[in-house]
Chains A and B, each alone.
Chain A
Amino acid sequence: MVGKSLDRVEDARLLAGKGRYIADIRLPGMREVAFVRSAIAHGAITRIVPPNGLAPDEFWTARAIAGHALPMTAILERDSFRRAPYPIFADGRVRFVGEMIAAVVADTRARAEDAAERCAVETEMLPALVDAEAALDPSAVRLHEAWPDNCYMQIERTVGEVEAAIRAADVSVTRHYRMGRVQPSPLEPRGCIAWFDRRADQLIVHLSTQRPHLIRSLLAAQLVGLDERRIRVIVPDVGGAFGGKTNLYPEEVALAAIALQVPYPVRWIEDRYEHLVAACHAREHVQSVALHADRSGRILALDARILVDGGAYSMITSTSAIEANMAVSVLPGPYRIGAYRFSAASVCTNKTPMGPYRGVGRPGACFAMERTIDELADALGMEAHELRQINLLRPDEFPYQTATGLHYDSGNYSGMIDSAVASIDHAGIRQEQASSPEQARRRIGVGYAAYVEQTAHGAKEFIARGSPVLYGFESARVVLDPSGSLTIFAGVLPQGQGLETTLAQIASEVTTLPIERISIRFGDTESCPYGMGSVASRSMVMAGGATYHACQKLMDRIRAIAAALLKCDDADLVVRDGVASGPGASVPFERIAHIAWQHVHLLPPGIEPGLEFLHNYRPEVETGTFSSGLHATKVAVDIETGKVELLDYVVVEDCGRVINPKIVDGQVFGGVAQGIGQALFESLDYDEGGQPRRVTLADYVLPGFAEVPDIRMEHMETLSPFTVYGMKGTGEGGAIAPPAAIANAVTDALRPLGVSVACTPISPASLWSAIEEARASGGTAYTRGAV
Chain B
Amino acid sequence: MKPAPFTYHAAHTADEALTLLDRLGEDARVMAGGQSLGPMLNLRAARPTHVVDISRIPALRQWRQSADGTLHVGAAVSHAEIEDAPLAGRSGELLRRVASGIAYRSVRNRGTIGGSLAHADPAADWPPTLCALGAQVHVASSAGERTIAMRDFVQGCFETAISSDEIVTSVEVPSLPGGTRWSATKHTTHHGGFAAAIAICVMPPGQPAVLWLGAVGERPLDLSGAIGSLSLHPWGTEARAAAYAAIGSALEPVVEDGEHVRYRRHLHAVNAADAIEKAVAP
Point out residues on A near B: beta carbons under 8 Å.
Answer: 108-110, 113-114, 117, 271-273, 640-643, 681, 696, 698, 701, 703-707, 763-765, 768-769, 772
Contact = CB atoms under 8 A, between A and B. Distances in A.
A305 to B, nearest CB: 28
Given A271-B1, A701-B189, 8 more contacts: A109-B2, A113-B2, A117-B44, A273-B43, A696-B39, A698-B39, A705-B191, A763-B189
A110 B192 contact: no
Interface in B226-282: 259-260, 262-264, 266-267, 270-271
Contacts of A769: 260, 262-263
B267 A641 contact: yes
Contacts of B189: 643, 681, 701, 763-764
A272 B193 contact: no
The 7 A-B residue pairs whose C-beta atoms are closest, nearest first, are A706-B191, A110-B2, A271-B1, A765-B260, A765-B263, A640-B270, A768-B263
A371 B39 CA distance: 40
Contact of A704 (B192, B194, B259): B192
Contact of B190 (A271, A681, A765, A772): A681
Contacts of B157: none
A485 B270 CA distance: 67
A108 B2 CA distance: 10
Contacts of A110: 2-3, 5
B279 to A, nearest CB: 18
A643 B43 CA distance: 31
Given A273-B43, A641-B267, A769-B260, A114 B5 contact: yes
Interface string B1-12: 111110000000
B189 to A, nearest CB: 7
B213 to A, nearest CB: 15
Contacts of B2: 108-110, 113
**Which of the listed residues B39, B191, B259, B260 has the most CB atoms from chain A within 10 Å of its own CB?**
B260
B190 A701 contact: yes
A700 to B, nearest CB: 11
A110 B192 CA distance: 29
A114 B192 CA distance: 32
Contacts of A640: 266, 270
21 contacts: A108-B2, A113-B44, A114-B5, A117-B4, A117-B44, A273-B1, A640-B266, A640-B270, A641-B187, A641-B270, A643-B187, A698-B39, A701-B189, A704-B190, A704-B191, A706-B191, A706-B192, A764-B189, A764-B267, A768-B266, A772-B262
A110 B187 CA distance: 37
Given A109-B2, A273-B1, A273-B43, A707 B263 contact: no
A701 B260 CA distance: 19
A119 to B, nearest CB: 14
A643 B264 CA distance: 13
A772 B260 CA distance: 12
Contacts of B44: 113, 117
Given A641-B270, A765-B263, A768-B263, A707 B190 contact: yes
Contacts of B1: 113, 271-273
Contacts, number: 60
Nearest to B273: A640
Contacts of B194: 698
B263 A701 contact: no
Contacts of B187: 641, 643
B interface, over-half SS: loop
Contacts of A765: 259-260, 263-264
A110 B6 CA distance: 12
Contacts of A698: 39, 193-194
Nearest to B237: A439
A681 B39 CA distance: 22
A114 B5 CA distance: 8
Nearest to B263: A765
Contacts of A772: 262
Contacts of B3: 110
Given A109-B2, A272-B1, A706 B43 contact: no
A540 to B, nearest CB: 33
A117 B194 CA distance: 29
Contacts of A701: 189-190, 193
Contacts of B43: 273, 696
A582 to B, nearest CB: 62
A110 B44 CA distance: 11
Nearest to B196: A764
Nearest to A189: B1
Contact of B263 (A271, A642, A681, A705): A642
A703 B44 CA distance: 26
A117 B4 CA distance: 10
A719 B264 CA distance: 52
Contacts of A641: 187, 267, 270-271
A139 B270 CA distance: 45
A310 to B, nearest CB: 26
A641 B196 CA distance: 11
A701 B39 CA distance: 16
Interface string B149-169: 000000000000000000000
A268 B140 CA distance: 45
Interface in B1-26: 1-5
Contacts of A696: 39, 43
Interface string B48-92: 000000000000000000000000000000000000000000000
Contacts of B260: 765, 769
A114 B267 CA distance: 42
Contacts of A704: 190-192
B45 to A, nearest CB: 10
Contacts of A764: 189, 263, 267
Contacts of B262: 769, 772
Nearest to A706: B191
A272 B43 CA distance: 10
Contacts of A642: 263
A114 B44 CA distance: 10
A108 B3 CA distance: 12
Contacts of B267: 641, 764, 768
Contacts of B266: 640, 768
A21 to B, nearest CB: 17
Nearest to B271: A641
B125 to A, nearest CB: 16
Nearest to B264: A765
Nearest to A273: B1
A763 B191 CA distance: 15
- Among A272, A641, A768: residue with most chain B CB under 10 A: A641
Interface string B164-202: 000000000000000000000001011111100000000
